[in-house]
Amino acid sequence: MEVRDRESAELIRSQVSQRRLPRGALRAALLRVPPAARDAWLDLVFEVDGLPDDGPELPRGCVPYLPCAVEVLLRAVQAAQIDADDVFVDVGSGTGRAAAAVHLLTGAEAIGLEVQPALVESARALAARLNVERVTTILGDAAELTGSMRAGSVFFFYCPFSGERLARVFAELEAIARQRPIRVCAVDLPLPQVPWLELAAPPSGDLAVYRSVTPASPGTARSRR
């Protein structure tokens, strides 16, 4: 990595840990790094080195840890129009990298749900290192943690699981969407076909972003964010 990029990573890390990161500074700094080096650059900011092993707690049929690419996170933030008023829920949050990145990019509160205890520990250690309060991680099977999703306004799925588990989580999202508009970001994951979600933007690569639509009542238009 270029010396200039190393220096910018150090500057951003120090601004984050001192809670002096100007709004928009992480995105601006990331965009100055060549695209192929952005993931390594973010890992430098987060002081993350290498991929953790998966543990025996990963249920059968669920997907092991793989961090989402920074490019995809940047596109998700834009397409879902995530801002500081949002609560971003990363369903299957691994080491908390995506949750922390989205929080720092947007100011949104971020909640990770993760089934592997060692990854939850890493995520909590990352939040402590970064000195961020509005990034938390809850340990458990996301399909059993639906109560913890209720505060969410944006839900992020980097293919943690599919099938019956995904259907259970979607039943909860539908209940939330009946109360208020939500967005759903899906990476590398075909979502169940449901009438209460529509594409918020044309799909881009592996990423599709949806927004909820509420069922029309007689004489009213469907509402959306």
- Does 98 contact ligand SAM by CB under 6 A? yes
How many residues sit close enough to ligand SAM to count as binding (CB under 6 A)?
27
Q: What amino acid occupies position 111? A: I
Q: Residues 158, 176, 200, 208: which binds ligand SAM (CB under 6 A)?
A: 158
Site string for ligand SAM, 10-49 (x = CB under 6 A): ----------------------------------------
Kindly give the residue spans of alpha helices, DSSP state H, lying in the chain.
3-17, 25-32, 38-46, 70-79, 97-106, 117-130, 163-179
How many Cβ atoms sit within 10 Å of the Cβ of residue 43? 16
Ranked by CB distance to ligand SAM, the top (closest) residue is 92
Q: Residues 48, 62, 87, 105: which binds ligand SAM (CB under 6 A)?
A: 62
Q: Residues 138, 159, 189, 213: which binds ligand SAM (CB under 6 A)?
A: 159
d(CA 182, CA 176): 8
Residue whose structure tokens are 């707690």: 57
The residue among 161 and 210 lying less far from ligand SAM, judged by its C-beta, is 161
d(CA 71, CA 76): 9
Give how far Cα 189 sits from Cα of 31, 32, 57, Å.
26, 30, 22
| Window of 13-21, 77-85, 108-116, 170-178 that interacts with ligand SAM by CB under 6 A | 108-116
User: How many Å is the maximal CA-CA distance in the chain?
Assistant: 62
Question: What does the binding site for ligand SAM look like in residue numbers (CB under 6 A)?
Answer: 58-59, 62-63, 65-68, 90, 92-94, 97-98, 113-116, 119, 141-143, 158-161, 165
